[in-house]
Chains A and B, each alone.
Chain A
Amino acid sequence: MLRRARHIICWPERDTLSRLNVALHRDIGYVCASLILAYCLSGIALNHIDDWNPDFVISKQAISLPHPFTKEEITKERIAEFGRLVEEENYKVYDFPTSDQVKIYYDNASLLLNFSTGHGTYEKVSRRPVFYQVNVLHLNRLKGWKWAADVFAFILMILSLTGLFVLRGKYGMARRGKWLVVAGMLPPLLALLLFELK
C-alpha cells in the first residue's frame, strides 16, 4: 500500500521537466512577443513624458492679426475672418476665456487669440500613431484591460522563471547563469542604494 502511494507522488524525470520547461518558455515567448514589444515601446515613450507628449502630436502655429481689436469688435463676421487666416472655413463655436482673449473652435483645431495684442496660437491635435495605441494598453485606459494586464504580468513571471532553466551545463543556471543573474540584479540594487543614501 505504502509502495503504491510512493509511486503515485513520484516526480517526472529531470529530462521530462527540462523539455516541459523549454516548451513552456518557447510558447509563452511566442504568445507574449507582440505585447512585450508594445509595452516596451510605451515604456520608453512614457519614461520621457516630461519632454514630449507621447499620446498626441500638437502642432502650434503663431498667428498675428493685422491690428488689435476691442471686445466689441469681435463679431461673428470677424470670427469668420480670423478663421480664414488659418484656412478654416467653418467654426463651431467661440468663447472668451478672459476679457482680452477669444478662443475659436474648429474640427480638430482651435485658435486662441489675444485680440488686444493681436497675437494668438492656432493649435491642431492628432493622435501620435502607434504610441497612442500602445499607451492605451500600457496605461489601462481600456476598461477591463487591467485584468488582462494582470494575467500578462503573471505570464511574464513564468517566462522569466522558465528562462532561467532553459539550458544546462556550462551555460546553465548552475554555472554561467548564476553570475549573469547577479549582474542583472546589480543596477536596480545600486540605484536603490543611491536613492536611500541621497
Chain B
Amino acid sequence: MKFKILTKTLTMFVALAALCVSAAPGRAVEPHAGAKIGVLLVNHGSRSETWRNSLLQLESSVTPSLLAVPSVKGVKTAFMEYTEPSIATRMKEFDQEGFTDVIIVPVFLTVSPHTFDDIPTIVGLKEDPHSMQKLKIENIQRYTSKATPHITPPLDFTDILQKNLLRRVTALSRNPADEGLVLIGYGDETYDKEWVDLFDKAAGYVRQHTGIAWYSYGWCGHIANYKPEETTAAINTVLKHARTALVIPVLVAHDEQFQIKIIGDGIAKVPDHKNRVLYKPDSILPDPNIERWVVSVTDEYVRKIQSQVSRAN
C-alpha cells in the first residue's frame, strides 16, 4: 500500500517536473491558452499598387516571426483608405476566426489624426466627431469587433527613422561638405510641432554621422494641398548655403503621386536642378529594422495582453 502511494507521489512529481522544464524557455509555451491573438498591420492606403505592394511585402516578411510569438495565430494587413481590405473587413475576419485580441500596428511615421483619432474611431475605441464625419464621407466603415483591439504607437517612438535616413543619405551623397539635406514628408496640421521635432532630430542624427551641415524640410501632403511648391521652397532654402541638395522622401512607401509627381515637379522647378539636386524616389520601406520593430512591438503587446489575462484569472 505504502509502495503504491509512494509510486503515485513519485509519478506526480515527475509529471510536474516535466511540465516545469518544458515551460522554462517561456516563449515556446503559451502561458494562457485562452488568448488567440491576431496582428493587424494598418497603413494609410493608396491608389498606387506599388505602394500597397510594399506594405504587403512587409506583412510577408514579418509573418513567420510574428507567428512564432506565443498566442499569435494570424497576421493580416489593412488599408485605412482607398482600397480593400479595409480595417473593418479585417476585424470582421478576425471575429469570424475566433480571435480574442487584435494587436493593431499602425505603419505610420508619427502621431497624426489618422493614428490618434481615425484608427481608434474605426475600431470603436473612440468617437472623435471630426473622424466620424470624415469616415462617413469617405465611405470608411466603422466596426466594433468582439476581439479586443490594442493599438501600438507609430514608428517614431524608436530610432528607426534616423537610421533609415542615414542609410539613404549615405547612399546618395557624393561630397558631404558641399551638400545640404532636404527632407520631404507628408506633414500634419494638428501635430506640426511633433513632425518638425521628428524631422529636426533625424536631420541632426544625419549631420552628426555624415557632416552634412545644412538642412531644410517641406511637406507634400494635405497640409501642402498636395502641391510641389513646398518641395521647391525647401530645396531653394538649402541651395542658398550648399552647392547640392540631397532630397530624401520621408514617406513610408513609394507612391507615384508623391515621389514622382509632387516631389518630382517640385525639383523640376529648381533652377539648374539637374546639376544641383540629387534625388532618388525611394521610401522608408523596405527596411529590416522596421520588420524587427513590428515583431518587437507585437511581442511587447502580447506580453501585456497575457499579463492582463493572468490578472483576470
Could you list which residues of chain A lie within 8 angstroms of chain B, going by C-beta atoms?
Answer: 50, 55-56, 58, 92-93, 95, 97-98, 103, 105-110, 112, 123-125, 127, 132, 135-136, 139, 141, 143
Contacts and interface: CB of A to CB of B under 8 A. Distances in A.
Interface string B221-234: 00001000000000
Given A50-B225, A141-B137, A141-B139, A98 B194 contact: yes
Given A55-B137, A112-B190, A143-B139, A105 B116 contact: no
Contact of A56 (B117, B133, B138, B194): B133
Contact of A108 (B117, B129, B138, B191): B129
Contacts of B128: 105, 110
Contacts of B139: 141, 143
B306 to A, nearest CB: 24
Contacts, number: 47
A58 B116 contact: no
Nearest to A132: B137
Given A50-B225, A98-B191, A93 B137 contact: no
B228 to A, nearest CB: 13
Nearest to B137: A141
Nearest to B112: A97
B133 A125 contact: yes
A109 B120 CA distance: 16
Nearest to A93: B126
A155 B5 CA distance: 94
B190 A95 contact: no
A94 to B, nearest CB: 10
A135 B170 CA distance: 47
Q: Chain A CB within 10 Å — which of B137, B138, B191, B225 has the most? A: B137
A45 to B, nearest CB: 13
A105 B125 CA distance: 12
A58 B131 CA distance: 12
B130 interface: yes
A107 B129 contact: yes
A58 B134 CA distance: 12
A136 B137 CA distance: 7
B126 A105 contact: yes
B265 to A, nearest CB: 12
B239 interface: no
A49 B54 CA distance: 31
B127 interface: yes
A112 B130 CA distance: 13
B114 to A, nearest CB: 12
Nearest to A141: B137
Given A56-B130, A123-B130, 11 more contacts: A50-B225, A55-B133, A56-B133, A58-B130, A92-B126, A98-B191, A105-B129, A106-B129, A107-B129, A127-B133, A132-B137
